Structure 1
Amino acid sequence: MVKKLIVNADDFGIHPAVNRAVEKAFAAGILTSTSLMAGGAAFDEAVRMARSMEGIGIGIHLTLVGGLPTVLPPEEVPTLTWEGGHLCSDYGELIKRDMKGRIRMEDVYREWDAQIRKILDTGLPVTHIDGHQHMHMWNHFFPITLTLARKYHIPCMRVPDEKLLFGFSLSPKGAFRFAAKNGLSLMARGHRKALKKAGIRTNDHFWGMMYGGHFYENRMLSVVDRMEDGVSEIMCHPSADASAMERTFHWGYEGEEELKSLTSPAVRERLKARNIRLISYRDVVKG
């Protein structure tokens, strides 16, 4: 088999700093794909930019967390907007609320349906679906993701199943992230059968959870060296102004470093040396 790589920037449309980074990483780097966030404050700018980036893959970044506004009026999805009329800030809080039975699946369906329609109404050709903080794979929400993908004939979906032993750490913070990553990876892996049955194509391998927001050049080179046959996806979060992003979102991401990785000549040369072909989800559909 041939080694193929999708390099996808999440959160397109969330902030002008992310939009500028996506544009630069596509024009001067290895970025092949990005996921558009319907509720992002810089959505309209992102759409204008996307129209000028010929060949970039455009995904739908389904969102239930991040402190962002909903696409529907908040009073129409009240079980999702209990924090000042916005989505909750943290996926842990969303999951705890869901486990207590306080999230109406009808609200999730209607909000995600509105997000998808908002993006499709731009006329941009959509290549795939993924999710902010991977909530599209949460067991209670995944049937909704699958139903909507089939409803709108979206051909591909990200499966974030990073290798279980990858990124092991003994530090308290690292150990928690490692455990959370493995829990999500196993959950996501369990949905592959349903996706295949529905005729929805996926990536074979995934990288970006353990290095999320901190995908430095040396880490990207290491991941490239680990790549196997089939379709891999690298998820990244580049930014043209990390300070502005931190003032707004407080994620601790180093988006400018990720942008450097995406535009690194060394990374491009390593991909060439390993005969890894850059693609988008559009090419996954073509086979």
Structure 2
Amino acid sequence: MKRLIVNADDFGIHPAVNKAVSIAFEKGILTSTSLMAGGEAFDEAVSLARSMPELGIGVHLTLVGGLFTVLPAKEVPSLTWEGGHLCNDYLELIKRDLAGKISVDDVYREWDAQIQKVMDTGLTVTHLDGHQHMHMWNHFFPVTLALAKKYHISCMRVPDEKLLFGFHLSPAGLFRFASKNGLSLMARSHRGALKRKGILCNDHFWGMMYGGHFYESRMARILDHLEEGVTEFMCHPSADQKAMEETFHWGYEGERELQSLTSPLVQKKIKEQGIRLISYKELGRPDD
């Protein structure tokens, strides 16, 4: 059976993302989203989530992105050296971690606070994933695993995209391709630990090389060749691309991603291929 989880990252980071999640769920193929506890539009996202009880809600564990921490900055100083907030770039975080400047205890307590903040809303948490996939970084993965077990969260994203996919002969393209493969190999290496702990995960993954640019044509092409098992599409929709770019400068085309998620062509292909749309909350059900 071909099963597909369609997840929107960064829920709660901005009203434009919140609106896009609502539209993509109500009018499109979105089945799941990842809630960012430190996002400035967190309260609005929680309210929207309560109005969409069938939407799967994960926790988007965050250590980067220039956001404020859930804990006071002074309580997690190794994570908030840039003016009292998280650093902007995962490369800077990794460099500091490799230099021994990141406290794993800070990571544990901040992520624990993020999960607890989401749990305190009364929402059911279906899975864990990470902003810029830092939940899979080798030094932090044991923290992710420990917190999943502490909070009885039974599913986790494994961002393991096909290694030969996305090769492009340009400096930027080669760097992105190499980064994607490094992360994919790292994520793949953690599958055994997840299985031993009884934590379920996706079999296949798309959206890393297409991050912020998951166009309708790309989505349709992947759907034509979707593999058996559970696939996750990671998406970054927005209802106001200009506002997002003015705030975060990511270069994402969120409005085009929203168009992909509500595309009649994409919905037609899912129906024709007999693909079952699910969220992470359905992975553990006996009939799955």
Shorter chain as denominator, the TM-score bin is: over 0.9
Cα displacement (A) at 1:226:
2.2
Which residue is 1:188 aligned to? 187
In 2: Cα distance, 1:47 partner to 1:5 partner: 24
User: Map of 1:77-96 to 2, 5 A cutoff?
Assistant: 77-96=76-95
Residue deviations 1:188-228, cap 9 Å, x none? 00000000000000000000000000001001111112210
Residue deviations 1:139-186, cap 9 Å, x none? 000000000000000010000000001111111111110110000000
Which residue is 1:273 aligned to? 272
Which residue is 1:259 aligned to? 258
TM-score (norm 1): 0.99
Residue 142 (structure 1) aligned with residue 161 (structure 2) = no
In 1: Cα distance, 2:82 partner to 2:277 partner: 40
Which residue is 2:214 aligned to? 215
User: Map of 1:24-43 to 2, 5 A cutoff?
Assistant: 24-43=23-42
In 2: Cα distance, 1:242 partner to 1:88 partner: 23
TM-score (norm 2): 0.99
In 2: Cα distance, 1:121 partner to 1:54 partner: 16
Instruction: State the AA in 2 paired with 1:266.
Output: L
Cα displacement (A) at 1:33:
0.2
Residue deviations 1:68-99, cap 9 Å, x none? 00000000000000111000000000000000
Residue 243 (structure 1) aligned with residue 250 (structure 2) = no
User: Map of 1:152-191 to 2, 5 A cutoff?
Assistant: 152-191=151-190
SS of structure 1 residue aligned to 2:284: helix
Q: How many residues are treated as equivalent by the alignment?
A: 286
Cα displacement (A) at 1:250:
0.3
In 2: Cα distance, 1:86 partner to 1:226 partner: 42
In 1: Cα distance, 2:228 partner to 2:142 partner: 29
In 1: Cα distance, 2:240 partner to 2:183 partner: 29
Instruction: State the AA in 1 paired with 2:263.
Output: S
In 1: Cα distance, 2:171 partner to 2:272 partner: 37
Cα displacement (A) at 1:17:
0.1
Which residue is 1:115 aligned to? 114
In 2: Cα distance, 1:272 partner to 1:173 partner: 36
Which residue is 2:60 aligned to? 61
In 1: Cα distance, 2:103 partner to 2:166 partner: 35
Residue 50 (structure 1) aligned with residue 43 (structure 2) = no
In 1: Cα distance, 2:148 partner to 2:222 partner: 29
- Which structure 1 residue ranges, 4+ long, deviate > 4 Å from structure 2? none
In structure 1, list runs of 5 or more residues that go unmatched. Answer: none
Cα displacement (A) at 1:285:
1.4
In structure 2, list runs of 5 or more residues that go unmatched. Answer: none
Cα displacement (A) at 1:54:
2.4
In 2: Cα distance, 1:271 partner to 1:118 partner: 35
Computed over aligned residues only, the root mean square deviation of the Cα atoms, in angstroms, reads 0.5
In 2: Cα distance, 1:218 partner to 1:163 partner: 19
